[in-house]
Amino acid sequence: MIKQYLIQAWRLLKENPLLSSISIIGTALAICMIMVMVMSHEVENASAPPESNRDRMLYMKFANSRPKGDSLQSGSSGGLAYELAKEGFKELQTPETVSIATIYEPSALASIPANKKATSVSIKLTDAEFWEVFDLSFIAGKPYTKVDVDAGLRKVVITEGTARK
């Protein structure tokens, strides 16, 4: 039966090569596009370190506010302020952990004592719970704690690449 199908396909290819080629290429491109869409969805949503629990995470990046009883014509939207995020989300009982971090990573100059040369680094401001939410490993040292944050201590965690500079 399969042999008959292959013979029939070969005859159709020989009979009308242009139409057959277009049909085969179109089918191949459609399959390729579906594979790309599935792969990009998996990469975006799959749990992988440091986001090992991505299937249980919710990201809140922006908020929209307007006066009570006002129409949709006035208001503002943008990133959440730390105090607003703290008031709105830290007291929630349902989530295991709530962490607040900046979404923008501005660059700054940092001097490394051994090198005495300023280098550009990206900054991400976080709270102590950030280290509980994300599965990060430390080569040396440890993450800062809630006590450190509450005391207002300035602590820095650097990447391995920054440490090598």
Task: Give the confidence band of 164 by pLDDT, cuts at 50, 70, 90.
Answer: confident
Residues 6 or more apart in contact with residue 96 via CB below 8 angstroms: 56
Query: What does the pLDDT look like over 110-127, one tens digit per residue?
Result: 876 776 778 888 888 888
Regarding predicted confidence, which is higher, 5 or 108? 5
Task: Tell me the C-alpha distance between 129 and 55, whole Å.
Answer: 18
User: Which pTM value belongs to this model?
Assistant: 0.62
Q: What percent of the chain has pLDDT over 70?
A: 95
Distances (CA, A) of 86 to 35, 82, 92, 133: 41, 6, 10, 16
Contact 95, 56 (CB under 8 A): no
DSSP string, 99-117: --B-S---EEEEE-TTT-S
Beta-carbon contacts of 138 under 8 Å, excluding residues fewer than 6 positions away, are 157
Statement: residue 73 has pLDDT above 70: no
pLDDT digits (tens, 9 = 90+) for 4-57: 999 998 998 899 999 989 999 999 999 999 999 999 998 888 888 888 888 788
What local confidence, expressed as pLDDT, does residue 121 receive?
A: 84
- What does the pLDDT read at residue 149? 85
Domains of the chain by residue range: 2-45, 55-64+77-164
108 confidence band (pLDDT: 50, 70, 90): confident
